Amino acid sequence: MIKLSKLLHEHTSLRDTDIAGVTADSRTVKPGYLFAALPGTQVDGADYILKAIKAGAVAVLCRPDAVRADVMAAHDSVIWIREDIPAQVFAHIAARFFDQQPETVAAVTGTNGKTSVAAFTKQIWEHMGFKSGSVGTLGINGPDSHQDTGMTTPDPVTLQKAMRDLCEAGVDHVVFEASSHGLAQYRLDGMNVSVAAFTNLTRDHFDYHGTQEEYFNAKARLFGEVMKPGSVAVLNADCPLVMEVADICGARGHKVITIGHHSGDIRLLRQQTSEVGQDITIGYQGEIYDLTLPLVGSFQAMNALMAVGLVIGSEGNVDQAFEALSHLRAVEGRMEQAGRHKSGARIYVDYAHTPDALETVLTAMRPHVKNKLAVVFGCGGDRDKGKRLIMGEVAAQFADRTYVTDDNPRGETAADIRDQIMQGCPGAMNIGDRASAIGQAIADLKNGDILLVAGKGHEQGQIIDNKVVPFDDIAEIRSALAAAPLQPSPQRRYGA
């Protein structure tokens, strides 16, 4: 129980009452709850206010025009809180209800690399001896706990409850992924973010944001609105939009740390592929750091340095942060080696599900390919349709053999999605069933080839209509390899 006045400092004129819980879903209202009626993409939460009251809601947060005066009068025992942006107010209410956040809260936004940067940040903190947590696509991860949420940025109640649970587990450092949906829907406005990174911005989610500008504006909210003035921003100096983000940060008085190849405070001066990953040389504040990064994929060096930026930006020891880089582990489903074919060909699973990510991973693999580079991929249904043809073109340009297959068709006809991709890569094989596509690609492998199975990474299911059918790329690769004599790689590890 908590007093309403503690949740809403701004509304001093409201009658006070005890609040037993807070929710934005009428189906989970219990007696004594505050119900937030939020507009959505499917329905308007305001249509469920009377249901919430019937279930015992004692306070209702909604838009000023959401309820007629006579309805409010008929329910005058309910405390009505009327706000222009109820979702934003609700995020603060949820934060005050759960009322605990780790001392250091870092956030990561950007089109690609959020999960990777978050996982590396957590690993570096752990290496430095901090009790750490992470929240994102790989779920809520504490020092000894894991919970899937199915979201990258969970709703405010799940997020704030996770913060309290992590604090109770002794966590003092947490890093979370700020998705563009999460930012646009104010899910994380109650977070006390002290340092945040912007990895990059390329095409994705046009289905939701409409234009690239709106997509950028959603991401930029993290720096311009969510973080308190005078925080720290870690920016990718190689990203064409870095100046726009830096201007937003400047106006808000944030300290900026830039990371880049040719310019930046933390500079990647040298990068050379090695047996175990890559040898890199980094320059920072006049010091040179030479180390081996045990990660495959040149782009992972930038992700690792963004993580160092977050650690340094949250007052972590600089030498310890760089030293930790040589201990980083691959992140589950990101450039993860899944097995090796009898021919010696290696097979990787990766979460590339945007044109930029697919191009980035295929380019990163090329130096390791002695013969042909093959890719199996598809595109998710009910998501940005415009990226499908482009991803087809990327595969045609950067791979030698392409197998177009199903990702998560969701509510769309899978064959139509594949046809849209095939327009960009007419020479590809079109095999709808993902297990069969993987099987065919493996059967075609020759010595010196590399096969990339892209798009689903760590995912454990395939979403067809509204149902989730169990599916794991790594397991399918292993069973296809078992059909052909195999050498599977060791058990998968959790990086976050």
Ligand X SMILES: Nc1ncnc2c1ncn2[C@@H]1O[C@H](COP(=O)(O)OP(=O)(O)OP(=O)(O)O)[C@@H](O)[C@H]1O
CA distances to 37, 41, 64, 112, 464 from 51, in Å = 11, 20, 19, 40, 31
Q: Which stretch binds ligand X (CB under 6 A): 23-31, 111-119, 322-330, 403-411?
A: 111-119
Asked whether position 45 contacts ligand UAG by CB under 6 A, the answer is yes
380 binds, among ligand API, Mg ion, ligand UAG, none (CB under 5 to 8 A by kind): ligand API
Asked if residue 269 lies in contact with residue 241, where contact means CB atoms within 8 angstroms, the answer is no
| Position 40 contacts ligand UAG (CB under 6 A) | yes
**Residue 420 vs residues 7, 211, 343: alpha-carbon distances, Å:** 49, 20, 33
> Does residue number 299 form part of the binding site for ligand X (CB under 6 A)?
yes
| Interaction between residue 141 and ligand X (CB under 6 A) | no
Residue 144 CA: distances (Å) to CA of 21, 132, 165, 405? 27, 10, 12, 36
Which residues 171-190 are close enough to bind ligand X by CB under 6 A?
A: 177
Residue selected from 111, 137, 202, 300 as contacting Mg ion according to rule CB under 5 A: 137
Q: Count the neighbouring beta carbons within 10 Å of the beta carbon of residue 81.
A: 21
Q: Does 356 bind ligand X (CB under 6 A)?
A: yes
CB-wise, 246 or 452, nearer to ligand X?
A: 452
Consult the annotation and say whether 185 binds a ligand: yes
219 known member of a binding site: no
Is residue 121 annotated as involved in ligand binding?
no
Sign for the pseudo-dihedral over CA of 358, 359, 361, 362:
positive
The answer to the question of residue 181 lying near ligand UAG (CB under 6 A) is: yes
Choosing from 104, 137, 258, 278, the residue that interacts with ligand X (CB under 6 A) is 137
Q: 7, 24, 226, 296: which one contacts ligand UAG (CB under 6 A)?
A: 24
Our CB check for ligand X shows the closer of 53 and 305 to be 305
As measured in angstroms, the least distance from the Cβ of 115 to ligand API is 9
Residue 155 or 406: which CB sits closer to ligand UAG? 155
Return the number of the residue (104 or 200) whose C-beta is nearest ligand API: 200
Q: Are 112 and 203 in contact (CB under 8 A)?
A: no
CB 426 → ligand X: shortest distance, Å? 24
Query: At closest approach, how far in Å is the CB of 69 from ligand API?
Result: 40
Answer whether 99's CB lies under 8 Å from 293's CB. no
Q: Is 409 in the site for ligand API (CB under 6 A)?
A: no
Q: Does 113 interact with ligand API (rule: CB under 6 A)?
A: no
The correct pick among 88, 101, 104, 116 for binding ligand X (CB under 6 A) is 116
Per-residue binder mask for ligand UAG (CB under 6 A), 119-158, x = binder? --------------------------------xxx-x---
CB 387 within 8 A of CB 379: yes
Q: Is 401 annotated as a binding residue?
A: no
Identify the bridge partners of residue 288 per DSSP, sorted by sequence position: 283
CA atoms of 31 and 70, how far apart (whole Å)? 23
The option from ligand X, ligand API, ligand UAG, none interacting with 357 (CB < 5 to 8 A, set by class) reads ligand X
Which residue ranges make up the site for ligand UAG (CB under 6 A)?
A: 24-27, 38, 40-43, 45, 48, 151-153, 155, 179-182, 208
Which residue ranges make up the site for ligand X (CB under 6 A)?
A: 110, 112-116, 137, 152, 177, 199-200, 299, 302-303, 334, 350-352, 356-357, 360-361, 457
Binding-site positions read: 26, 110-116, 152-153, 179, 185, 187, 383, 407-410, 455, 459
Which residue ranges make up the site for ligand API (CB under 6 A)?
A: 152, 353, 380, 383, 407-408, 455-456
Binding-site positions for meso-2,6-diaminopimelate read: 383, 407-410, 455, 459
